[in-house]
Chains A and B, each alone.
Chain A
Amino acid sequence: MITALGPVASELGANRVVRGVKIPHPCGDPTLERSRDRALRIGLIRGSLRALATKLDKAEIFEGEAA
């Protein structure tokens, strides 16, 4: 789950949480210039894929990656 409220998502039972940008726009940042926003979004997807591929013993919060 990509969310700006990571600890809340973990407490509610989400095992793989990726730290998102803000509540109104977890998967991007409209204040950024378009190419930087695109890089941010690619990084969030990469972080999410890494989270999916990680074997977990307990819930974990992941960060986005550099694009």
Chain B
Amino acid sequence: MRLELRTFDVESVAFGERTVLAGRALTISREEMAALAGADPAFRSIDVQLVRPGEAARITQITDVIEPRVKVGGTAGVFPGVLGPVEPVGRGRTDRLRGLAVVTAGEVPWLGAKGLFVAHDGLLDMSGPGADLHPYAGLHLVVLRFEFADGADHEACERALLVAGQKVARALATTAAAEEPSLVETRELVRPDRPLPRVLYACQVQSQGVFLRSRLYGRTLDELLPTLVHPNELADGALTSGGLGGHGIKLHTWMHQNNPVVDGLLARHGTEWDFAGIVLHRGHFYLFEDKQRVALRIAEIADLLRASGVIFTLGGGGNNITEVMLAIQECERRDIRTVLLAWEHAGPEGSDYPLPYAVPEAVAIVSTGNVDEPLELPAMDRVVGGAAIRVRPEVGGVAFPVTGPVRLERRTLFLGAADPVGFQRMGAVES
């Protein structure tokens, strides 16, 4: 599977009459994008906003972030199974706009949903201390902010948001066709010319029901048994996100497209190791036996692929750590070394026991941040969204103002605050 990935840098974005890329300047027709994104009957209205890198802006109620990409010169398309037919991707040529992302957002009505399935609101700052916590502050963002039609249920809203964001992302990427790429990479897992340790990436995805789902070729992963994918499939959008809740540790589609663990493993494939592929798996199963089944499948796949090591990352938070810890145990028992990237639930001071569950075999763990650490955010000049977001759904919802300074007692509302694949520019000091 060989993919030519062509990168086109975008350095400025403005609204104009036509949607066109000239050099590194992108002009976007606001009306055209609004018509493309807002066509679904689940939407009552759409507003398209541009946010600059590092702008003192706060964006609220984000449902997904997507990098503009399009396949060119072949039959297959990006986001297979959602925007187009289920057909092989990860081959041929793909164009991507670097420095730009499409953001879908809006106040999804709660419609009486309870517990996990309340559409939790979140926020993201493009400057100040919050900007160091997520990978989007250096990007130009095209924010599609929706209002929802009366009578649209959650399934319809989720579907409409998913398709709208992906359609706009694909349409923006088509502007690159006549331009010169600033970078052309060939992505292929060529068999190394000498024996090297084989490394597998076990990427956990969250998929628990409406608005907490991931999809592979359009299929929801709520009942996923571990399955093997090629990194190029992720590059072409075979794996998509679409979720509200757990914002601090959420993997957006953009993060699947640009997963730094995948990029890092590809960068030194064939020189330092032999990248064996990605095992997608899901946590949050409700029985110990289900969790053990996932763990066994991951370990057996690693064993079959003759992996020397497996890198684990988390998808979502809570009891999903159990599947991963059991998988680490099963791998280590087969003499397959493991390393885990994980958020911490270490309490406000960072001094509590950080993981809900652990096994003695898990001896190499990299922290991606403490979800429980309070976060003080200054006021932003501009809020893209309403003046308040909704918190505390267990009491029917409380308005939480976001126009002034914000103090978050925990980081779950802040996008990327402890993201599980390691984008953030921060570290830890032993004390």
A contact residues vs B (CB 8 Å cutoff): 4-8, 12, 22-24
**A interface footprint on B349-366 (CB within 8 Å = 1, 0 otherwise):** 000000001000000000
> Interface residues of A: mostly helix, strand, loop or mixed?
loop
Q: Is the CB of B322 within 8 A of A22?
A: no
Q: Is the CB of A24 within 8 A of B286?
A: yes
Q: Is the CB of B357 within 8 A of A8?
A: yes
Q: Is the CB of B286 within 8 A of A23?
A: yes
A22 to B319, CA, bound (A): 12
A23 to B322, CA, bound (A): 12
Q: Which residues of A contact B322 (CB under 8 A)?
A: 5, 8
Q: Which residues of A contact B286 (CB under 8 A)?
A: 4, 22-24
Q: Which residues of B contact A23 (CB under 8 A)?
A: 286-287, 319
B contact residues vs A (CB 8 Å cutoff): 286-288, 291, 319, 322, 357
Q: Which residue of A12, A22, A23, A24 has the most chain B CB atoms within 10 A of its CB atom?
A: A23
A7 to B288, CA, bound (A): 8
Q: Is the CB of B287 within 8 A of A22?
A: yes
Q: Which residues of A contact B287 (CB under 8 A)?
A: 4, 22-23
* Minimum Cβ distance to chain A for residue B141 (Å): 36
Compute the total of residue contacts between A and B using a CB distance below 8 Å.
19
12 CB contacts below 8 A, A to B, read A4-B287, A4-B288, A5-B288, A5-B291, A5-B322, A8-B288, A8-B322, A8-B357, A22-B286, A23-B286, A23-B287, A23-B319
A50 to B287, CA, bound (A): 23
Q: Which residues of A contact B319 (CB under 8 A)?
A: 5, 23
Given contacts A8-B357, A22-B286, 14 further A-B contacts (CB under 8 A): A4-B286, A4-B287, A4-B288, A5-B291, A5-B319, A5-B322, A6-B288, A7-B288, A8-B288, A8-B322, A12-B357, A23-B286, A23-B287, A24-B286
Q: Which residues of B contact A12 (CB under 8 A)?
A: 357
Q: Which residue of B286, B288, B291 has the most chain A CB atoms within 10 A of its CB atom?
A: B288
* Minimum Cβ distance to chain A for residue B117 (Å): 12
A24 to B291, CA, bound (A): 15
Q: Which residues of A contact B291 (CB under 8 A)?
A: 5
A7 to B319, CA, bound (A): 14
* Minimum Cβ distance to chain B for residue A12 (Å): 8
A8 to B286, CA, bound (A): 13
* Minimum Cβ distance to chain A for residue B356 (Å): 9
* Minimum Cβ distance to chain B for residue A20 (Å): 9
Complex: chain B residue closest to A9, CB-CB: B288
A7 to B286, CA, bound (A): 14
Q: Which residues of B contact A6 (CB under 8 A)?
A: 288
A4 to B288, CA, bound (A): 6
Q: Which residues of B contact A7 (CB under 8 A)?
A: 288
Complex: chain A residue closest to B360, CB-CB: A11
A7 to B289, CA, bound (A): 10
* Minimum Cβ distance to chain A for residue B285 (Å): 8
A15 to B270, CA, bound (A): 50
A24 to B114, CA, bound (A): 13
Q: Which residues of B contact A8 (CB under 8 A)?
A: 288, 322, 357
A47 to B288, CA, bound (A): 19
Q: Which residues of B contact A4 (CB under 8 A)?
A: 286-288
A5 to B319, CA, bound (A): 10
A6 to B319, CA, bound (A): 13
